[in-house]
C-alpha cells in the first residue's frame, strides 16, 4: 500500500517508519527544508529509542520518502494521515490552524480514485466534519475521498513499541470502505480494534489523556495529605494501586505532569466543556493540583536549601525523551532564577533543548558528577535510570552541602539518611 503522513514529529515520524517497515511505501510531507534534508540523511531530529535505526533501515529500502511537496505523494496514496501539532491557545482551546492549512493542500491534489483522509492529530469533536467541508470546497469535482479519525496513543520514550503493540487501534468513520482499508493497513499491528463514529474517536483521545492526568494529580493530592500527617505516600498509593479496579500506573507523586499531550489536552477539554456549558470543575482541579505540586516543591527548596548553588538532574518531561514541552523543569528553573539561585543542570539528551531557552542564564554539565560539584543542593526533576544507579557516596563528597530534593522519589529516605544526606522527597 502507498500512504502519506503529513507531519514528522513523534507521532508522524514513528508511524511512518513502522508502516514502511511493514513493506508499505510511505511519503512523509514536512514544511521545513532543513528538517526534511536531515530526515533524508537518516537524522530523526528527535530522540526516541530505536527510531534512528528504523529510519535508516527504511531509507535504504527506499520505502520511506521525505518531501516538501504534496502533489506526487497525495496522488499516489490510498490513505493520507494528518499528524501535525494542535498546541494550546492562550484560552486553552486547541489551535487547529495547521490542521486546516494541511487539509486545503491535500484537497488540491486528490485523485479520481477514492482516498481515505485519516486524522491522527488530537482534535476537538466536530473537527473531522469541518475537514470534510473544507476538502469538498477545495477539491476537484472528480476527486473522491472519505474521512476517518485514527487517534494515536503512543508514549514518548516507548513510541516505537507502542505503535507496534498498542492496547487498542481506534478507527472512527462513517465509511465502511475507510474502515476496511485502515483495518488492512493495521493488520500487522497488535491491539484490540475499536470501531466507532467520528465524534467518539475524537473524544476517546481527550478522555484517555485527561484520566491519566487525573491519576497523576490524585497521587499528588494524596501526597499533600501525607506530607502533613506523617504518612508515606509510596506505601499509601502502592496499596491503593493493588486494587485491580484502580491499577498502579500513573499513581506516582512528583512535580507534576508535562509533555506535549496531557497539559494541552486537559486545557482543551476544559475549553470544550465550558463552551458546551458542562461543569468542568473536576478537570480544572486536575490542572490546579498539577501547578500546586510544582509550587510546593519549589517552596520546600527555597525554605530548606543550604545555599544558592543548585544542581539539577533531569530536564525532559519524562525519561527516554528529549522533549521539554511543558516540562516541570521549565517552570522550576525560571522560578529558581527569579529567587536568585545559581543553577547547573544535566540531562542525558534534553540539554540542548533547554539551552535554546535559557542560554547563558544557567550552567551546563556533561555528567551528573560535574553537576553536583560544589553544589549546596541537588534537585531531581526527571527520573532517568542513570540517577537511580549513581554512586551516592561520590555525590556526597563532591557536594558543598549534602542536601537532596527528590521530585520523583527515586531513593529510599532511610538509605539516604544512613549516607548522611538531608533528603527531601514528595509526600514523606
Known binding residues are 35, 86, 122, 153-156, 205, 250-254, 258, 264, 318, 325
C-alpha cell at 78: 490510498
Contact indicator for 287, 258 with CB cutoff of 8 Å: no
- Residue reference for cell 490513505: 79
Which member of 17, 210, 261, 382 is catalytic?
261
Contact indicator for 97, 87 with CB cutoff of 8 Å: no
Look at strands 79-82 and 115-119 and give their pairing. Answer: parallel
What Cα–Cα distance (Å) separates residue 13 from each residue in 43, 52, 109?
Answer: 11, 10, 22
C-alpha cell at 6: 503529513
Cα–Cα dist 49/406, whole Å = 26
DSSP assignment of 388-406, as one string?
HTS-HHHHHHH-SS-EEEE
Q: How many CB atoms lie within 10 A of CB 90?
A: 7
User: Would you say how long the chain is, in residues?
Assistant: 428
Which residues does the annotation place in the binding site for NAD(+)?
Answer: 35, 86, 122, 156, 264, 325
3-state helix, strand, coil in the chain (%, to 5): 45, 15, 40
What are φ and ψ of residue 187, in 5° steps? -55, -40
Q: How many CB atoms lie within 10 A of CB 314?
A: 28
Which residues does the annotation place in the binding site for substrate?
Answer: 153-156, 205, 250-254, 258, 318
Q: At what angle do helices 328-338 and 351-358 cross, to 10 degrees?
A: 40
Distance of CA 321 to the CA centre of its chain: 9
C-alpha cell at 377: 543542593
3 state DSSP class of 41 = coil
The 3-state secondary structure of 274-291 reads HHCCCCCHHHHHHHHHHH
What Cα–Cα distance (Å) separates residue 136 from each residue in 109, 139, 152, 176, 364?
Answer: 12, 6, 26, 20, 52
Cα angle: 251, vertex 426, 328; to 5 degrees: 80
Tell which residue, 300, 340, 329, 314, has the closest CA to residue 424. Answer: 300
DSSP label at residue 88: B
Does residue 210 have an active-site annotation?
Answer: no
| Residues acting as catalytic residues | 261
Amino acid at each position: 500500500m502507498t500512504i502519506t503522513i503529513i507531519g514528522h514529529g513523534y507521532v508522524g515520524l514513528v508511524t511512518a517508519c513502522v508502516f514502511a517497515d511493514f513493506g508499505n511505501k510511505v511519503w512523509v510531507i514536512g514544511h521545513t527544508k532543513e528538517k526534511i534534508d536531515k530526515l533524508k540523511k537518516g537524522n530523526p531530529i528527535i530522540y526516541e529509542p530505536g527510531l534512528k535505526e528504523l529510519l535508516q533501515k527504511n531509507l535504504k529500502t527506499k520505502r520511506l520518502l521525505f518531501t516538501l511537496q504534496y502533489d506526487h505523494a497525495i496522488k499516489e496514496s490510498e490513505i493520507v494521515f494528518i499528524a501535525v501539532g494542535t498546541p494550546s491557545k492562550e484560552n486553552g482551546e486547541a489551535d487547529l490552524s495547521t490542521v486546516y492549512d494541511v487539509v486545503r493542500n491535500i484537497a488540491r491534489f486528490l485523485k479520481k480514485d477514492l482516498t481515505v483522509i485519516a486524522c491522527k492529530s488530537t482534535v476537538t469533536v466536530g473537527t473531522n466534519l469541518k475537514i470534510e467541508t473544507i476538502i469538498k470546497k477545495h477539491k476537484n469535482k472528480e476527486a473522491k475521498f472519505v474521512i476517518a479519525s485514527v487517534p494515536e496513543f503512543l508514549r514518548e520514550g516507548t513510541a516505537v513499541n507502542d505503535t507496534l503493540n498498542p492496547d487498542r487501534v481506534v478507527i472512527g468513520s462513517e465509511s465502511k470502505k475507510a474502515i476496511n482499508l485502515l483495518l488492512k493497513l493495521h493488520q500487522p499491528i497488535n491491539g484490540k480494534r475499536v470501531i466507532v463514529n467520528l465524534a467518539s474517536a475524537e473524544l476517546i483521545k481527550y478522555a484517555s489523556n485527561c484520566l491519566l492526568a487525573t491519576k497523576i494529580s490524585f497521587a499528588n493530592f494524596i501526597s499533600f495529605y501525607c506530607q502533613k500527617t506523617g504518612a508515606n505516600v509510596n506505601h499509601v498509593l502502592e496499596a491503593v494501586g493493588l486494587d485491580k479496579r484502580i491499577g498502579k500506573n500513573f499513581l506516582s507523586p512528583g512535580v507534576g505532569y508535562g509533555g506535549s499531550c496531557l497539559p494541552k489536552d486537559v486545557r482543551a477539554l476544559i475549553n470544550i466543556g465550558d463552551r458546551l456549558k458542562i461543569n468542568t470543575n473536576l478537570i480544572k482541579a486536575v490542572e490546579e493540583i498539577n501547578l500546586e505540586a510544582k509550587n510546593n516543591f519549589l517552596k520546600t527548596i527555597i525554605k530548606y536549601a543550604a545555599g544558592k548553588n543548585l544542581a539539577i538532574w533531569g530536564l525532559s518531561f519524562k525519561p527516554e525523551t528529549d522533549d521539554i514541552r511543558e516540562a516541570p523543569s521549565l517552570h522550576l528553573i525560571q522560578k529558581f532564577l527569579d529567587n536568585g539561585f545559581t543553577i547547573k543542570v544535566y540531562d542525558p539528551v534534553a540539554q540542548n533543548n533547554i539551552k535554546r531557552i535559557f542560554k547563558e542564564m544557567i550552567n551546563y554539565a556533561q555528567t551528573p558528577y560535574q553537576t553536583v560539584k560544589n553544589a549546596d543542593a541537588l534537585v531531581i526533576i526527571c527520573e532517568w535510570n542513570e540517577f537511580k544507579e549513581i554512586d551516592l557516596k561520590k555525590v556526597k563528597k563532591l557536594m558543598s552541602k549534602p542536601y537532596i530534593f527528590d521530585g520523583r522519589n527515586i531513593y529510599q529516605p532511610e538509605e539516604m539518611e544512613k549516607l548522611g544526606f538531608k533528603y527531601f522527597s514528595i509526600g514523606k
